[in-house]
Each structure stands twice: as structure tokens, then as C-alpha cells.
Amino acid sequence: MSQKNKTDNEVTIREHVFDGIQEYDQKLPNWWLFTLYITMVWFVIAWFIYYQTTLPTLTDHERIDANIAVIEEKKKAELETMLASLSNESLKEMSTDATHTGAGKAIFETKCAACHGLDLSAKLGGIQLPGLPLNDTEWKYGGKPLEIMNIVTNGSPDITKGMIAWKTQLSPSEIAQVVSYILSKQPQT
């Protein structure tokens, strides 16, 4: 290079001085060059594999669709097994079993109490909460245990003024436990 002067230990310092600042002209560190080259080579190879070979078999959408389909299949089977084993009577029976109602209570307090109130009255210190009261005998969508199970699973028919579907967040057995807890709180007639 035209501007260089050799110094004793082979490191060159450039002739030009800027406001007192000088510059060495050291060789680029090998490990640094290697890092630069390897990322560039990686780019060429990886892009080639992505777009010019048949190796990547699935697009993002195909992959996620397949994964979700498996999960949905599992959930469906789970629900069907659960429903097959349930009846109005068995749910009633569960509501007398403290292990089920206890588990249901815990779920109710984290997921449901925000709208239906801790005491199922849908009131918080006199303020009306968005949910309907569950401690009276009035059932807007049917009061049979399986009907309650259905409304919890699938949500209100008109979502703009009703409850969300809980099947995305709760398993069928958890829903059954919540229903058993609600049933256990019913005024006995």
C-alpha cells in the first residue's frame, strides 16, 4: 500500500495524521475473518437448501396446521370419552364428592370468580359483575348438569353478551369438576 512505512516490529503505521490521530494497519484477526466468512458461506448454503432443494418439506403454515390438527384430534377424543362417561346423574354424584368439588372450587376461583363472584352471586360488594348469578334457581341456558357442562365448554350462544368458551383453557375433566362444584352450591330443592 502506497502510504505505509514499515516499523521495527513489522506493524505498519500509516503516514497520514488526523488531528493527532494515527492509524496502524494491522492485518485482520483471523478468527474475525473466519467468523465473517462462515456466516456468509452459511447464508449461501442455507438459502440454497431452503429455496432450491426439496429438503424443507413444510412451510410455516403447513407445519403449524399439522401440529394443531394433532392437538385438536386429541382434544376431541378426550371430550368424547369424557362425555360418554358422564350423565346428569354422574355429575350430580360428583357434586357430593369433596375431591371433585374441591378441585372445581380452585378452578372456579381463578377462572370464573371474576365474573360470577366468589360466592356465585355475580356481585362484588353490591356491584353487578358481568356474569349471571349461579346460586339461584334460574338458568338461562338450562339447568341440567349436562346443559351446564355444555355452556361452560362452548360458551354462550351470543358472545357479545355472554360467556366465552372454556374448552380452550380447561380440559373436559376440569370442566366437569367446575360443574360439580357449581352443582354442590345449588340451593337444595
Partner 1 sequence: MTSDSPTRNKVTITFDDKTPRWFMIASIGWGVVAMLVGVLIAFQLNFWQVNGKIFEYLTFGWFRSEGIEFLTFGRLRPLHTNAAIFAFVGNMMFAGVYYSTQRLCNTRTFSDLLSKIHFWGWQLIIVFAAVSLPAGLTRGKEYAELIWPINLMVVVIWVVFALNFFLTLKIRRERSLYVALWFYIATIITVAMLYIVNHLQIPSSLVHSYPVFGGVQDALVQWWYGHNAVAFFLTTPILGIMYYFMPKAANRPVYSYRLSIVHFWSLVFIYIWAGPHHLLNTALPQWLQILGMFFSLMLWAPSWGGMINGLLTLRGAWDKLRTDPVIKFFVVAVTFYGMSTFEGPLLSIRSVSALAHYTDWIVGHVHSGTLGWNGFMAAGMFYWLAPRFWRTKLWSVNLANFHFWIGTIGILLYVASLWFAGIIQGLMLNETDPTGTRLVNEFVQTVDKIQLLMLTRAIGGTLYLVGFVLLVINIWKTAKSGKAVDETREVFEDPAVAKDRMAWGAVFRNDPIALTFWGLFFGILWFFLPPGASHMALLVTLGFAAYATYRFKKDTATWAKWYDDISENYLPFTVLVVIAVVIGGAVQIIPVVTVNRAMNVEDRLQKVYTPLELAGRDVYISEGCYNCHSQMIRTLVPDVLRYGDYSRLGESIYDHPFQWGSKRTGPDLAREGGVRSDSWHYLHLLNPRDLNPQSRMPNYPWLAQRKTDFGALPGKIAVQQRLGVPFPIMTPEEIEQHARQQAQEIAGRLVAEKVKIPVKKGDKEPTNEVEARDYLAGTKIVAVIAYLQKLGAFDVVAPPENPEPTKPRTIMPGIPDKLRPAPKAEPVKPADPAPTVTTAQN
Minimal distance in Å, beta carbon 142 to partner 1? 19
- Cβ proximity of 86 and 176 under 8 Å: yes
Distance between CA atoms of residues 176 and 149, nearest Å: 7
Q: Which residue lies nearer to partner 1 by CB, 130 or 143?
A: 130
Q: Which residue lies nearer to partner 1 by CB, 44 or 84?
A: 44
Minimal distance in Å, beta carbon 157 to partner 1? 12
CA torsion, ordered 43, 44, 45, 49, to nearest 10 deg: 100
Binding residues (CB under 8 A) for partner 1: these are 1-3, 13-29, 32-33, 35-36, 39-40, 42-44, 46-48, 50-52, 54, 56-57, 59-61, 63-64, 67-68, 71, 74-75, 78, 110-111, 114-115, 124, 127-130, 159-164, 168-171
Minimal distance in Å, beta carbon 26 to partner 1? 4
Q: Which residue lies nearer to partner 1 by CB, 88 or 171?
A: 171
Taken in order 140, 142, 148, 151, the sign of the CA dihedral is negative
Q: Which residue lies nearer to partner 1 by CB, 106 or 124?
A: 124
- Cβ proximity of 122 and 134 under 8 Å: yes
Q: What backbone phi and psi angles, to 5 degrees, belong to 175? A: -60, -40
Residue tagged 338458568 (cell numbers): 139
Minimal distance in Å, beta carbon 103 to partner 1? 14
